Structure 1
Amino acid sequence: MTHEVVQHVEALGPRLAAAAEETERLGKLSDESVALVREAGVMRLLQPKDFGGFAAHPRDFAEAVMAVSRHCGATGWVCGVGGVHPWEMALCDRRVQEEVWGKDPDTWIASPYMPSGIAVPTEGGYVLNGHWQFSSGTDHCDWIFLGAMVGDAKGAPLMPPRSLHVILPRKDYTIVEDSWNVVGLSGTGSKDIIVENAFIPDYRSIDAAEVAEGEIAAERAGRTDTVYRLPFWSVFPLGITAAVIGITEGLLQHHLDFQRERTMANGTKVKEDVSTLYAISEAATEIAASRTQLLDGISRLHDRAEAGKPITFEDRAVVRRNQTRCAWRAVMAGDQIFARSGGNALRKDNPLQRFWRDSHAGLHHAIHIPGGIYHTTALIAMGIEPAPHQRILI
């Protein structure tokens, strides 16, 4: 059964599409886009029920992100990234959950998780300094997760390294305006963040390794819903890849609408050109396969957790491998149809070119870089134990 939030997104789809051009022009989500996402409830899908969320199956979350992305790639991307943050917040100390959602369960949380800062231990917490890039949707968020390395008094990372996710209110960090000038996903407003000597109470931090394992953090937080027992590196990539696949679905739909009555330069109607129709069907199949495999992977992990079975590193690696391939397969399929859309598809008033640019921009995220994950998964398949550095982001 389709989740009510997905149904709501579909109903609001034409309005999301109508707001997409303004979102791109602004370089951040338009007020209309934000209002529609709030109305649909997308950001609350993985939020715990005791704070106004759905604690939904991650499959429903992915389908909602795809549905948004089909109409506006930038808005779908922000939903895919930002929609995971309530999931992690559910694993944090109850005190910070109350601070974030106590007065408004629709409060949004930004990131990024790259450990681009140093957290120096002090009495009662840490002092944080750093500069982060790629904070998607940050203009619309009142709190932020930031990745940081625990450091010494001189600001150098401790060895062996220890990574934290720390949580800051809007007043404790600076958004760098004009730091997001890009050719794709420009409407995401993924700006830089700067923190200078901010105090982070202990309860506003969580060990990144615990979150990565899933079960440990859920037990510590007292969360029993299955979704919170999943590993971080299975849930976080899900929203990002779902956005990319949804964008390619939007590209396909706009291509079909554009080609329906189009006549090519040689006078042949596209609907009578066998080679173009072949390419359309082939691309549609590849995009559909990407959707199916992505949803199947996260569903398999959820089923294991639901049954009380451990999720092994091999399980995680295979799902990450497939998730990465899903994104590349869908974008490559989009290339085949965009290249057959004619010169008018390049015009800035044609949504086709925006979907094409946004899909390619989505492949630049670290979770879509295939080399490391493919290497590691192949080693596992041969019965070879991966080295510690080969386990990163899995």
Structure 2
Amino acid sequence: MATVVNMQNQAGEIPTAEELVDRARAMIPALKSRAKQCTAERNVPAETISEMQEAGFFKVLQPKRMGGYEMHPNVFFSIQKLLAEGCMSTGWVYGVLGCHPYEMALFDDKAQQEVWGDNPSMLVSSTYQPVGKVEHAEGGFYLSGHWGFSSGSVHCGWVLLGALVFPEDGQGPPDMRTFLLPREDYEIDRDSWQVFGLQGTGSHDIIVDRVFVPEYRTHRAVEGFMCDNPGQKVNEGPLYSLPWAQVFVRSVSTAAFGGARAAVNAAMAIMESRISTNTGKASKEDPMLHGAIAAAHSQMLEMELTQKASFDELMELAESGKEIPMEKRSLFAYQSSTVVRRLARLVDDMM
């Protein structure tokens, strides 16, 4: 208990949601100025990660008992959208790294203490591809494999890796788990991230050569789905009774809102100054462009309000101790899955 008390003291005064959102908005010019560097280096600059740490952004979904703020998910998503407006890759990395404290809160307390005990600001990357090879062992498992797409991994001291655990007797279905490993147990292939889009996310490959992972450093997907996780014994707030996937799926679609907002702003600026080389007329006189911008703005607002309303409803159910209906969970996940394609089409229309 002494360790937890010390971490609560280290957390200091918790900023308000408004203060955190204002800090994110204030970062937009700096993120825009570093966007080319981010792309060229294929990683979010260390300076940016440090500034986000100092602003407290990564603590939004982290338990208070472990030095975090334990805030409403909508605060987290509001920050992510603003960061992505400045730099899409930065917004993506924040969404991924920033949601991991939520899953860490679902792990056994011993795992939480190992990650945050000495450093409440420790960051964790992930790749949930179920490609790991798992061997049963006394007290845990041996894990090996080669995973792709671990965004922001160079800035992190731990990683979450997906793998299927097959029954020792060969009977029954496999158990999907997330394995938690410290930095000394894996390699990062920094030459693996050569892509067309989101170049700055540093989503490098992770390589593991048969390391032991204790049972308490694994998280079963079924526990996240059933909202019955080991970490809930110590993190008893309603926030951590939400289905883990509801938080995760939105963390990987929400950056698109920021990118689309930046595109709308750019279209507005172009409309004010551009003269068509074909017609000689100003773009601000083009009704088609006006319509495309209006459609993008209004439909993006609709999608954002839907996201906000869904998490308000999820939190209301969690705070009242009610079970979240499966049809609601399916609807909210579906809505998240439509965001990127819809926004991409709207940006295409403006182009």
TM-score, normalised with respect to structure 2 = 0.91
Contact 1:294-1:326 within 8 A present in 2 as well? no
Aligned pairs (5 A) from 1:312-351: 312-337=325-350, 339=351
Aligned counterparts of 1:274 and 1:140: Cα–Cα separation in 2: 46
Aligned pairs (5 A) from 1:4-19: 4-19=19-34
The count of aligned residue pairs is 335
Code of the residue aligned with 1:12 in structure 2: it is M
Q: Which residue is 2:5 aligned to? A: none
Q: Which of residues 50, 53, 59 in structure 2 aligns to 1:44?
A: 59
Q: Secondary structure at the match of 1:55?
A: coil
Aligned counterparts of 1:103 and 1:164: Cα–Cα separation in 2: 26
Contact 2:129-2:161 within 8 A present in 1 as well? yes
Contact 1:290-1:330 within 8 A present in 2 as well? no
Question: Residues 99-124 of structure 1, C-alpha deviation per residue, up to 9 Å, x if partnerless?
Answer: 11112211110001121112211012
Q: Which of residues 84, 98, 103 in structure 1 aligns to 2:99?
A: 84
Contact 1:128-1:200 within 8 A present in 2 as well? yes
Q: Which of residues 280, 283, 290 in structure 2 aligns to 1:270?
A: 283
Aligned counterparts of 1:252 and 1:157: Cα–Cα separation in 2: 54
Aligned counterparts of 1:198 and 1:219: Cα–Cα separation in 2: 24
Q: Which of residues 24, 27, 34 in structure 1 aligns to 2:39?
A: 24
Q: Which residue is 2:269 aligned to? A: 257
Aligned counterparts of 2:23 and 2:258: Cα–Cα separation in 1: 16
Aligned counterparts of 2:327 and 2:274: Cα–Cα separation in 1: 48
Contact 1:213-1:230 within 8 A present in 2 as well? no
Contact 1:150-1:157 within 8 A present in 2 as well? no
Aligned pairs (5 A) from 1:1-394: 2-151=17-166, 159-214=172-227, 216-217=228-229, 220-265=232-277, 266-337=279-350, 339=351
Question: Residues 117-150 of structure 1, C-alpha deviation per residue, up to 9 Å, x if partnerless?
Answer: 1221101211001111110111101001111111
Aligned counterparts of 1:103 and 1:158: Cα–Cα separation in 2: 41
Code of the residue aligned with 2:179 in structure 1: it is V
Aligned counterparts of 1:18 and 1:158: Cα–Cα separation in 2: 56
TM superposition shift of 1:327: 2.6
Question: Residues 48-80 of structure 1, C-alpha deviation per residue, up to 9 Å, x if partnerless?
Answer: 111221111011111111110010000000011
TM-score, normalised with respect to structure 1 = 0.81
- Cα 1:105–1:252 change in 2 (3 A) is same
Contact 1:297-1:319 within 8 A present in 2 as well? yes
Contact 1:96-1:203 within 8 A present in 2 as well? yes
Q: Which runs of 5+ in 2 are unaligned?
A: 1-15
Code of the residue aligned with 1:289 in structure 2: it is E
Code of the residue aligned with 1:166 in structure 2: it is F
CA-atom RMSD, angstroms? Answer: 1.8
Q: Secondary structure at the match of 2:274?
A: coil
Q: Secondary structure at the match of 1:66?
A: helix
Aligned counterparts of 1:242 and 1:226: Cα–Cα separation in 2: 23
- Cα 1:218–1:312 change in 2 (3 A) is farther
TM superposition shift of 1:157: 7.9
Question: Residues 23-56 of structure 1, C-alpha deviation per residue, up to 9 Å, x if partnerless?
Answer: 1110011122212221222211101111221111
Q: Secondary structure at the match of 1:29?
A: coil
Q: Which residue is 1:372 aligned to? A: none
- Cα 1:123–1:267 change in 2 (3 A) is same
Code of the residue aligned with 2:161 in structure 1: it is L
Aligned counterparts of 1:232 and 1:223: Cα–Cα separation in 2: 14
- Mean Cα displacement is larger for which, 62-71 or 38-47? 38-47
Code of the residue aligned with 1:293 in structure 2: it is T
